[in-house]
């Protein structure tokens, strides 16, 4: 299968894996450079949604500081997801879900259901470890939390660095976040060292704009293979997606189903589940709005990273390979774009990525 995005082609391979529960058909994205990645990942940001609803004005940093996921629940979710056919698991240092993700994966390896090479693990570098010499120790810490020898993909979570140190959200005496002016080019050197040491197979970026990516491409020794960004029917990010494909960089969509909004004190943005266009297309294909939104991205050549803590939802989210949206419906979904961004943190940071058009 080949998806043409502004003359750039992403090829997908299909892999049949025999499970105790079922035969599952999985698609992997393969770039021209040989990088391979499963196109559907399980997101593992297990935030306390009820706390957010009760306190809609709480800033993201304050919320994230108080997240303590139930890693036993995360481990069970990962085990269930592997049984359902998931082979890609997305976590991050700031999610605090690495122990559960690693435990679930190790359990399934020990039971003989999968091998380590069957599983693709992504984690991310947090803002307080952007110094060149801080990157390797940070990944080593993640590997210890995961209980794994390596990850498949290591991303810089944001280009916007905080003051280096053990505090993930450093603040001054008046409660203002303490930014650092560390250039992400210096951070990238540390990322390259992680590859050299065998701690990760590949490295990439998250929440970067095209100019920031180009700066890295112009100077790097090892190029990024993936960009993880917010993409959903209300934010198509078409120009940035096309830019990445033209440079043989895969794109992974986080929040592909929309989600909570961190800015302006809003609890939630407009819901794609109530969108009349998406609902109509879902009825036409006898699928859920979520499945339509995910399939839409896959046919654009964009991998997806939906998250849920419910087994029936994660089963629904991976059941998107048995139908194809027609060109007219793809165009209708593209027309849903409102340039509506859910995540827009720290806009006064010198390396804030979203002042640029793409």
Q: In what order do the strands lie in the sheet with 151-156?
A: 41-43, 88-90, 120-125, 151-156, 200-206, 226-230, 250-254, 303-305
Confirm whether residue 11 is marked as ligand binding.
Answer: no
Provide the CB-side half-sphere exposure for 24 (13 A, CA).
22
Q: What tokens were used for 102?
A: 């690693």
Give the distance from CA 230 to its chain's centroid.
8
Given CA atoms 315, 101, 249, 185 in this order, what sign does their dihedral have? positive
- Contact at 8 Å (CB) between 179 and 136? no
Residues of the chain with pLDDT under 70: 1-26, 46-67, 260-269
| pLDDT of 25 | 57
> What backbone torsions phi and psi does residue 254 show, to the nearest 5 degrees?
-95, 160
- Contact at 8 Å (CB) between 60 and 267? no
Active site residues: 95
| pLDDT of 269 | 63
| pTM for the model | 0.88
For residue 259, count other CB atoms closer than 10 A to its CB.
22
DSSP letters for 51-79: HHHH-TT--HHHHHHT----HHHHHHHHH
Instruction: Output the CA torsion 83→154→346→246 (10° steps).
Output: -100
| pLDDT of 183 | 98
List the Cα angle 237/85/8 in 5-degree steps. 30
DSSP letters for 271-318: -GGG-HHHHHHHHHHT--HHHHHHHHHHHTT-EEE-B-S-HHHHHHHH
Could you tell me the domains of the chain? 2-269+303-311 (3.20.20.100)
Could you give the residue ranges of the DSSP H alpha helices within 67-183? 71-84, 98-110, 135-146
For residue 266, count other CB atoms closer than 10 A to its CB.
12
Give the distance from CA 80 to its chain's centroid.
20
pLDDT tens, position by position, 184-234: 999 999 999 999 999 999 999 999 999 999 999 999 999 999 999 999 999
């Amino acid at each position: 299968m080949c998806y043409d995005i502004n003359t750039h082609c992403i090829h997908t391979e299909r892999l049949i894996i025999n499970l105790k529960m079922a035969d599952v058909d999985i698609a992997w994205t393969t770039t021209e450079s040989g990088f391979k990645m499963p196109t559907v990942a399980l997101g593992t940001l297990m935030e306390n949604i009820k706390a957010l609803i009760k306190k809609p004005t709480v800033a993201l940093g304050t919320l994230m500081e108080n997240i303590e996921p139930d890693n036993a629940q995360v481990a069970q979710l990962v085990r269930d997801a592997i049984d359902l056919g998931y082979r890609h698991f997305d976590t991050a240092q700031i999610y605090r879900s690495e122990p559960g993700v690693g435990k679930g994966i190790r359990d399934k390896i020990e039971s003989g259901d999968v091998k380590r090479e069957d599983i693709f693990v992504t984690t991310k570098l947090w803002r307080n470890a952007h110094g060149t010499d801080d990157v390797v120790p940070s990944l080593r810490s993640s590997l210890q939390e995961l209980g794994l020898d390596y990850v498949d993909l290591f991303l810089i979570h944001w280009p916007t660095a905080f003051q280096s140190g053990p505090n993930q959200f450093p603040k001054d005496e008046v409660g203002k976040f303490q930014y650092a002016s560390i250039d992400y080019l210096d951070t990238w050197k540390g990322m390259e060292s992680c590859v050299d040491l065998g701690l990760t197979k590949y490295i990439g970026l998250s929440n970067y704009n095209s100019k920031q990516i180009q700066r890295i491409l112009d100077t790097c020794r090892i190029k990024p293979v993936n960009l993880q960004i917010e993409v959903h029917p209300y934010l198509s990010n078409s120009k940035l997606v096309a830019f990445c494909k033209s440079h043989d960089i895969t794109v992974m969509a986080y929040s592909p189903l929309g989600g909570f909004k961190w800015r302006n004190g809003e609890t939630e943005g407009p819901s794609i589940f109530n969108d009349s266009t998406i609902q109509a297309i879902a009825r036409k294909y006898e699928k859920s709005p979520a499945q339509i939104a995910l399939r839409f991205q896959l046919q654009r050549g964009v991998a997806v990273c939906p998250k849920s803590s419910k087994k029936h939802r994660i089963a629904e989210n991976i059941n998107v390979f048995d139908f194809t949206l027609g060109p007219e419906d793809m165009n209708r979904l593209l027309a849903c774009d409102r340039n509506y961004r859910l995540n827009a943190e720290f806009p006064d940071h010198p390396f804030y990525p979203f002042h640029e058009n793409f």
